[in-house]
Amino acid sequence: MTTQSLPNDVNEFDVPQERLPRHIAIIMDGNGRWAQRQGLPRIEGHRRGVKSVRNTVEECARLGIEQLTLYCLSSENWKRPRTELDFLMHLLEQYMIEERSLIMQQNIRVQVIGRRAGVADHALREIDKTIELSRDNTGTCLCLAINYGGRLEIVDAVRDIAGCVQAGQLTPDQIDESVISEHLYTRGMPDPDLMIRTAGEMRISNYLLWQISYAELWVTQKAWPEFGVEDLQHAIRDFAARDRRFGGLNNPA
C-alpha cells in the first residue's frame, strides 16, 4: 500500500497530470445483482462492494485526484427491504470506524452530502467523527452521497434562495448560476469531470443533476463488487483521450 501521490507530470499508465480529472463521481451499481449471480444474499454484494470502495479511494489518493464522490445511498433507496437498509447503515458505521486510520494516513478529507433525516444515529455519529478528524487534511476529498437525490438537492437550494430573497438579502435579478451553485450541498466543490457507472445501466439516476452538466460519462458492464483499480485506470485513460469542448470548438475553422 502506498500513500504517496505520483509525480506532477506523468504516471505509470502514461496520463499526464494535467489530463487527470479533478473530480470523479461514481454510481456504485450492481451489488445485489452480483450477489444473486453468486447464489448469495443481496447484502453480501454490499459487503463485497466495500473492498471496491477501499481500492478506488486508495488509487484516487495515490493519483492525487482532488475529489471522489460516491453514491452510497439514494433518497429512493428507502423503498428497499428494511433488513437491507439496516445492513447498509451498519456498513456505513463499520466503514467509518475501520477505515478511519487509513483515511488519516492517506491525508484524505471526508465530506457527506444529502439529507441527514432517516440516516441511523449510530452511523451519523461515526460519520461526524470522521469528518471532524479529517477536516484539516489536504489530500483527496472523499465525498459520500448518503440519502441523496439530485432533485431534492435542487429543491433545498431553491428554498434557501427563496428565504434569502424574503429576508431581503438577495433580489431575484441577482440569482444566477453561481448563486444556485452556492446553495447546493456541493458548494465549494468542483463539478465532476468524469462520472463512472457500473453494472451497465445507461442512466443518471438522479445523481448530481446540476453538477454533471459537462461531465464525461463512462459505463462498464462490471458490477461494483467486480470494479477494480484497472477499471478505474481504464476510465481515466478514456477520459484523458477525450476532446472536451464545453459547447465550443477547440480548433474553429
Question: What is the rounded CA–CA span in Å between residue 47 and residue 225?
Answer: 9
Q: Which domains does the chain have, with CATH numbers?
A: 20-149+191-241 (3.40.1180.10)
Is the CB of residue 213 less than 8 Å from the CB of residue 192?
no
Is the pLDDT higher at 251 or at 183?
Answer: 183
Evaluate if residue 6 carries a pLDDT over 50.
Answer: no
Question: Per-residue pLDDT tens for 39-84?
Answer: 999 999 999 999 999 999 999 999 999 999 999 999 988 888 899 9
DSSP annotation of 240? H
Mean pLDDT (whole number) for 25-40: 96
Question: Per-residue pLDDT tens for 124-163?
Answer: 999 999 999 999 999 999 999 999 999 999 999 999 999 9
State the pLDDT at residue 48. 96
State the pLDDT at residue 249. 54
State the pLDDT at residue 9. 46
DSSP assignment of 73-140:
EETTGGGS-HHHHHHHHHHHHHHHHHSHHHHHHTT-EEEEES--TTS-HHHHHHHHHHHHHHTT--S-
State the pLDDT at residue 155. 97
Question: Per-residue pLDDT tens for 97-120?
Answer: 999 999 999 999 999 999 999 999
**With bands split at pLDDT 50, 70 and 90, how would you rate the model's confidence at 245?**
confident
Question: Per-residue pLDDT tens for 215-234?
Answer: 999 999 999 999 999 999 99
Catalytic annotation, residues: 29, 77
